[in-house]
Amino acid sequence: MTKAIVIAHYKEDLSWIEEINDVKIYLYTKGDIDIDLAFKDNLIIEKLNNIGNEQHTYLYHIIKYYEKLEDIIYFIQANPFEHSHNFLEKLSNNYIGGISDFNLITTLYGDVDRAVYKKHINHKYVNVSINDIIGNVFIDPWNDQNAINNLGFLIDELSELEIKKENWIFNANGMYSSRKERLMKFEKSFYIKCIETFKCENLKMLAFAFERIGNFIYL
């Protein structure tokens, strides 16, 4: 079984990857790398234009390596520990799924109590289901009109996903671990179609919308 980590980097500290030697690492930077990683023979570094946040990076990688994807791929932000304090443990255990750690996410909002977390989310979303405990939140719908428009645009454009607008789901942090066979359920042309949506004007909101429907693609 082969494994790879796909890292979407801007200016985060990358010292944590120095000790990872048994997993292929694809590092896509849209900013600056402040340490020397030339010694790592399991690392491929590529500079990308700073558009589309991590979601654009993930799609770029899938398109580029579609014919030779590893068996398990971890699509992560350059500081995965912010959302998943035990990411390295999940990596070693071949974990599959959204990589959120519920307790850590709630801690970021100042409290580990589910009711407080739900209240925090509800300042943006009308309804949150009980499923927030596993890091997934159903939204019905967003109060933010820009987000609604972009998410609706994606759902209409990516009809292959068969997403019902009354049941939108998102991974709480935009990081995923996916099996190759899951990603191969979509033709390469689908991912090209996804990345081409970033030609629209509201890039930040579009990346945010992709994060909200990522489970339909990666999991």
For 163-178, what is each residue's pLDDT tens digit? Answer: 765 555 555 578 999 9
What are 145-203's pLDDT values in tens digits?
Answer: 677 678 788 888 898 888 765 555 555 578 999 999 999 999 999 999 999 999 877 77
User: In this predicted structure, what is the pLDDT of residue 168?
Assistant: 52
User: In this predicted structure, what is the pLDDT of residue 132?
Assistant: 42
Contact 146, 140 (CB under 8 A): no
Contact 95, 177 (CB under 8 A): yes
Q: Which residues of the chain have pLDDT under 70?
A: 102-145, 148, 164-172
User: In this predicted structure, what is the pLDDT of residue 144?
Assistant: 59
- Residue 100's contacts (CB-CB under 8 Å, 6 or more residues apart) are 83, 84, 134, 135, 171, 172, 173, 175
Q: What percent of the chain has pLDDT over 70?
A: 75
User: In this predicted structure, what is the pLDDT of residue 127?
Assistant: 44
